[in-house]
Amino acid sequence: MNPGTERTGEGRRAVILVSGGLDSTTVLAMARSQGYQCFTLSFDYGQRHRAELLAAERASAALGDVEHKVVTLNLDSIGGSALTDMAIAVPEEETPGIPITYVPARNTVFLSIALGWAEVLGASDIFIGVNAVDYSGYPDCRPEYIAAFETMANLATRAGVEGRKLTIHTPLMHLSKGEIIRAGTALGVDYALTVSCYQATEQGLACGKCDSCRLRREGFQQVGVTDPTRYRS
């Protein structure tokens, strides 16, 4: 889907996955601009950067969601990621391959719960802010993964079996971070409300060193927009 403002979803319900970060907040603004009634969904999954949950609630309210829901999971019970295991340090330098900040099966779990809520709501659309350009190499952010999940969703649900096709929308998939910021700015997104840092403080102060902070900062530099991120120093 292109990030335009054509109101293709006029009056329709959609579930929007929101993390409180720059990307998902932009996706929410895009869905709203297209006329969708937005039901926003966040996860308290045992992540170390919990300030994002407050950011998700703030951004959802600011952008006019219909309802905001937080689902509690305990992905920290299985660990395996620097975001869910406090014993694993968040890298502050670029690392080759899939980084340790990858949370095993996270998007599969999140999309599955979003799928369930969409069925309950009678919604045929789910939006997620995955990106295959400026991202950290996560396997569950690729177009082929999203296509496979959408196929599964339409096989696994009553709605799909009865012919009400469910669509997974990824409007940021092929945009650079700068292009995402430009699109969001045009839609009135206040990025000061968002938190992207992998190890933000409880007050939402960013480290400025992790992969997510670097990508975010470079995006603002690309488009010449003032970075509203609050850093620790």
Who contacts 126 (Cβ-Cβ below 8 Å, separation ≥6)? Answer: 14, 15, 16, 17, 111, 114, 115, 118, 166, 167, 168, 169
Any idea which of 10-14, 18-22, 94-98 has the lowest mean pLDDT? 94-98
pLDDT of residue 2: 43
For residues 63-76, average pLDDT: 97
| Residue 20, pLDDT above cutoff 50 | yes
pLDDT of residue 50: 87
Handedness of CA 100, 136, 210, 76 (dihedral sign): negative
Residue 176 burial (CB < 10 Å; 0-12/13-18/19+)?
middle
| Residue 3, pLDDT above cutoff 80 | no
Any idea which of 99-113, 130-144, 188-202 has the lowest mean pLDDT? 130-144
Structure tokens at 190: 């206040």
Sheet holding 125-127, edge to edge: 67-72, 37-44, 13-17, 125-127, 167-169
CATH architecture of 13-223: 3-Layer(aba) Sandwich (3.40)
pLDDT of residue 70: 98
SS (H, E, C) the chain: CCCCCCCCCCCCEEEEECCCCHHHHHHHHHHHHCCCEEEEEEEECCCCCCHHHHHHHHHHHHCCCCEEEEEECCHHHCCCCCCCCCCCCCCCCCCCCCCCCCCCCHHHHHHHHHHHHHHHHCCCEEECCCCCCCCCCCHHHCHHHHHHHHHHHHHHCHHHHCCCCCEEECCCCCCCHHHHHHHHHHCCCCHHHCCCCCCCCCCCCECCCCHHHHHHHHHHHHHCCCCCCCECC
Mean pLDDT across the chain, nearest whole number? Answer: 94
| Residue 6, pLDDT above cutoff 70 | no
| Residue 35, pLDDT above cutoff 50 | yes
Residue 55 burial (CB < 10 Å; 0-12/13-18/19+)?
buried
| Residue 112, pLDDT above cutoff 90 | yes
**Residue 4's pLDDT band (boundaries 50, 70, 90)?**
very low
For residues 110-125, average pLDDT: 97
pLDDT of residue 8: 81
